[in-house]
Amino acid sequence: MAAGVGTLNVSSNQLKMAVLKACRGIGVPVAQAQEVAAAIAASPLALNKLLAHLAKPISSASFDFSFGVDVQNAHLLRDFSVCADAVSQGAVLVILRGVAKCDVTQALAQYHGVSAEMDNGDLHVAPHQYPAQKSGRCKVDPDDWRRLGVYAALTYVPETDASRLAGAGAGLTDND
């Protein structure tokens, strides 16, 4: 199903929270996950492409600061933030090696106020200005939503008898 022609109507906050959990589920640090979530909430058409990034395993990236920032083995959802930071601090050449431009790179670029364009097979991040974004209610593909939920579920802890009885909040009976 093409992105944006979905049938599930979700609130912006619902989408944001689901993306946040999904990113955390695959190991994206929480601050970066929050930034991805805000970016996707503002650009919900990027949800479908986000799933591909969520499927990629996270491993250590390597950074070379000799001529700006040159990132090898980047995971877009974790490492775009620091590239945007670098651009904001005047780094001229900021490159994510082997990362392709997609809806998610553009959503993140808009969120951070930078551009993200391909050059010689790598993603180059540079200063850019966008009009203010506003998140709102959106339609999503139900299958995308389900798949997002699978990643979000990676943050959930299976229940035990002990956790159900001792670890939860309010009481089991309300008949008083």
Partner 1 sequence: MKDAVIAEAGLRHSEEVMRLSRMGAMFPSRLSFLRSLTRRLIADKSNVSRHHWDMDVEGFGTAVYSVDLGGHTYSLFAITQPLDPDMRTDRVIAEAWDSAFVLYDGLPNALEIARLSKNAPLQELGQFTQKDLCLSRANKSVRLFDQIVTSLRNGADLPMGMIQDIGYLMRTTAVYGNGKFGIADRSEIDARPGLQGPFMAEMLTVWLIRTFTHDLVEHVGGGKLPDHVKRQLGIGNSTGLGMAPFLVSHPLLLHSWMICRETALARVRVTEFGLDTAVQLIDLSRRAAQHLLEWNIADPLHHARIVKLRREWAGLTCGLTAELLMAEGALDRLLLQSVAGSEDLQELTVSWMIEPFGDLVDGLTECMANPHEPTLDAAMDCAELGSALAVHCGYATAVDFTAPHATEQFWYVSESKLEPRIGKRHTEAGADRESPLDITRQIHSLAQDLPGHTGPIWQFLAYFPQHRLAVQRVQALADNPYSEIRDNLVDADMAPVDMLRCKLSFFGASKFDPKSQLWTRITLAQGAPLASDLAAGKVWDDWWLPVSAP
Binding site for partner 1 (CB under 8 A): 9-14, 24, 29-32, 34, 61, 63, 65, 69, 71, 78-79, 81-82, 85-86, 88-89, 134-137, 153-160, 162-164, 167-176
Distance in Å, CB of 40 to partner 1, minimum? 14
- Taking the least distance from each CB to partner 1, the nearer of 88 and 92 is 88
- Taking the least distance from each CB to partner 1, the nearer of 10 and 39 is 10
Distance in Å, CB of 1 to partner 1, minimum? 20
Give dist(CA 41, CA 111) in Å, integer.
Answer: 10
73: left (phi over 0), alpha (psi -120 to 50) or beta: left
- Taking the least distance from each CB to partner 1, the nearer of 82 and 100 is 82
Reading the block at residue 88, the tokens are: 């904001």
What are the two backbone dihedrals, phi and then psi, of residue 62, each rounded to the nearest 5 degrees? -120, 140
Nearest to 43 by CA among 128, 130, 136: 136
CA distances from 73 to 12, 70, 155 (A): 31, 10, 25
Reading the block at residue 56, the tokens are: 């990629």
Distance in Å, CB of 90 to partner 1, minimum? 10
Residue with tokens 């969120």: 111
Pairing status of strand 62-64 against strand 69-72: antiparallel
Residue count of the chain, please give it.
Answer: 176
Distance in Å, CB of 138 to partner 1, minimum? 10
Distance in Å, CB of 169 to partner 1, minimum? 2
- Taking the least distance from each CB to partner 1, the nearer of 64 and 119 is 64
- Taking the least distance from each CB to partner 1, the nearer of 57 and 156 is 156
